[in-house]
Amino acid sequence: MSPRGRLTANHWGTGVVTVRDGRIVEVAAHPADPDPSPINGNLAGSLNGRARILRPAVRLDWLEDGPAPARGRRGPDPFVEVTWDTALDLLAAEIARLRQSHGNDGIYAGSYGWASAGRFHHAQGQLRRFLNGQGGFVASEGNYSYNAALGILPHVVGPYMRQVVDATRWSVIAAESDLVVMFGGLPDRNAQVSDGGLGLHRMAGNLAACRAAGVRFVNLSPLRSDAAEGIGAEWLAPRPGTDVAVMLGLAHTLLAEGLADRGFLDRYTTGFDRFARYVTGEADDVPKDAGWAAAVSGLPAGRIARLAREMAAGRTMITCAAGLQRADHGEQPLWMTVTLAAMLGQIGLPGGGYGIGYGVNATIGNTQRPFRAGALPQGRNPVRRAIPVAMVADMLLDPGGSYAHQGATHLFPDIRMVWWAGGNPFHHHQDLNRLRRASQVPETVVVNEINWTATARHADIVLPVAAAQERDDFAAGNSDNALIPMPACAPPPGAARTEFSIYAALAARLGGAEAFTEGLDEDGWLRRLWDETRAAAGRTGVDLPDWDDFLAGDVIALPDPAPDRVFLSGFRDNPDARPLPTPSGRIEIFSERVAAMDLPDCPGHATFLPVRDAVAPDAAAHPFHLLSGQPATRLHSQLDNGALSRAHKVGGREPVLIHPDDAAALGIRDGDVVELSNARGRCLAGARITDEVRQGCLFLWTGAWYDPDFDDPHHRCRHGNPNVLTHDLRTSALTQSPAAHSARVALRRVDGAVPPVRAHEPPVFVPWPRARGSVTSGAAPSRPGRPAPPSR
């Protein structure tokens, strides 16, 4: 049996669940985990909290007037709680209406996010399977985390996901590296999570082994704690958005002092001479030497030059944090990382080269799965249209408008229904005030949720779903070597249901129930997926138990297929026999393909381009760089109403880190309520004074549930979500990736009374006598009218 109780799996690790009187009261870390995440401490409080959605609910105006653009009412409107039959009848009728009047390309199911770690009860997979069986939907492509890498790196060195899977292992770095230079740091809080579940946390131990072996670390980040305290990293804090300038200064020193490996560049790369003309200033009369880099970044010129020499003197691993690409021109630090590593000539050698995204996932460089576990098949989407994931507001506000992507021109679809499941766009999207305006455009918004987040509050139909701990499943992380049983530990509260049961009931109303279920119930599907997993394991020589024994048992650790992997070692050994999947088969320091697109925001080689807010006309009015990142107290916005997350708030608001000198100049003391503002929005936060952050920078953690004050003319967020301040521009026309990390703000102390935070409370519920099956009214069933929506 599992230790002390039933197991559960989350993206932050394995938990042991304690249940009393049918309620989850505690989730502890698995005792075998050497460095467990504390995030399990949020689960009990969130699943049993006041914000839990207990019954289906429909927005009052949508019931009164029928499906139509909301004209600002999504968000502040009250809801009517209804029975499941009513909710499903209404939703089935709306799907049928939209398919007939506008076709399936009027339905957008851009659902995105770190939903359940389970292989079967995966929110987006379930929704896509259902909609694919009903004629399809407009999808999103890419992600918010590393979309620029997905878009630029195939032009430079090959698909990004191969670089994740094949990343040089930290055990190799400990044995072979002299120096690790970390652009954007390597925050250990990020390395606590992994998509699809996680058996053990290995990063802290592997970094400790590097330190014990004498590996030296340099952390280039505006936040000192972006490097784990135990590795003793030297802290260099460049101005945000200037990492490419620092790398160019390093490259100039390597070139000027004859430290670049011309033999490697000639054999394994193409286009270096074009890039060299830019670095030396031959192309634009601006030499990118250490002095120039110092003026741009704020780092000492002498330290930049010495660092270049240190990198060339020994075996050096260059890492680039995923966060650097979520900024203006985010493709450039990625391309420049590859270029700088190529100049050192150590790509493909043990302990040398580069890694992009170390720490974005707990398994990168730490372990890998030996086979793919079974998963719910999603089928084929008959609608062949998809938009870049960060362009949802653009799509809704500009139906039929054009946009560029990867050198081609596309048109936005005319979306009438939006369906979110397993994600929280009112957390992860940028410029939330603009997203609020966009969210009013569709005729119908559907949300599957556990809690009353802002996304649920901006819906028309809200479907309460069971949490991962309230249904049987199993976890097998996308890049982890563990299989984790996930037995149901408690029943879902109220009327919450599994998403499979919701879609099966909808399919029965719309036709296609047999195609969706294939004649299986949830237990039948789980047994099928486990049988597929056992078969895949058997092909690798691993014998797994049957389903019942596994579900009642402990974590199963699988063999690591490549514990000594070195990224691109095969290419280095024989570039002719193992060419890269680029046009030249080599590393493209200059890309003819990208250059031919003639994009001013993404030239043909790595280039320094300034942050847009920094050169805007109102830059002086917004003197602080706003930084945001993954907190240690939750995964993104998940379970923000849990005990751990709430315990780290400041007066109930998200903490913002402020340098002591900046705080003193503004008369701000630790614990004060402060307002961050710019032309896009405003939010309140709680001041935390610390020298961990670079002067001139503010660090506001992501994930505080968006809490707009509709009585305030700016809809100021009372809780401290940084995305009310970030812009909704893209990194470039090449990848159309989010660039939210390039925002500037003003800061002031707030004196006097401040509004209370309402983010963790449910919305207002009202009775509606005409509502068919209304829970709050008990009225006789009657179907509300469905007037035609207004023309656009």
H/E run at residue 686? strand 682-689
Burial class for 175, CB neighbours closer than 10 Å (0-12, 13-18, 19+): middle
The question of whether 403 is a catalytic residue gets the answer: no
Please choose, from the candidates 721, 57, 757, 759, the residue with its C-alpha nearest in 3D space to the C-alpha of residue 428: 721
Please choose, from the candidates 702, 707, 643, 650, the residue with its C-alpha nearest in 3D space to the C-alpha of residue 47: 643
DSSP 337-396: HHHHHHHHT-TTSTT-EEEESTTSSTTTTT---SSPPP-------S---EEEGGGHHHHH
402-405 and 408-411: which strand pairing?
A: antiparallel
H/E run at residue 570? helix 569-573
**CB 17, CB 3: distance < 8 Å:** no
**CB 138, CB 415: distance < 8 Å:** yes
**CB 671, CB 702: distance < 8 Å:** no
585-601 burial code (b ≥16 CB/10 A, e <16)? ebbbbbbeebbebebeb
The catalytically annotated residue of 62, 114, 547, 768 is 114
Residues belonging to the chain = 792
Tokens representing 211? 């330190």
- Report the C-alpha gap between 689 and 672 in whole angstroms: 10
For residue 223, the one-letter residue type is L
**CB 373, CB 214: distance < 8 Å:** no
The catalytically annotated residue of 62, 108, 112, 235 is 112
The question of whether 114 is a catalytic residue gets the answer: yes
Please choose, from the candidates 554, 551, 533, 530, the residue with its C-alpha nearest in 3D space to the C-alpha of residue 542: 533
How many other C-beta atoms can be found within 10 angstroms of the C-beta atom of residue 251?
Answer: 27
- Write the secondary structure of 203-253 as one string of H (helix), E (strand) and C (coil): HHHHHHHHHHCCCEEEEECCEHHHECHHHCCEEECCCCCCHHHHHHHHHHH
- Report the C-alpha gap between 512 and 392 in whole angstroms: 29
User: What does the angle CA 51 – CA 53 – CA 57 come to, to the nearest 5 degrees?
Assistant: 125
* Neighbouring-strand partners of residue 181: 218, 318
Q: Which residues are catalytic?
A: 112, 114
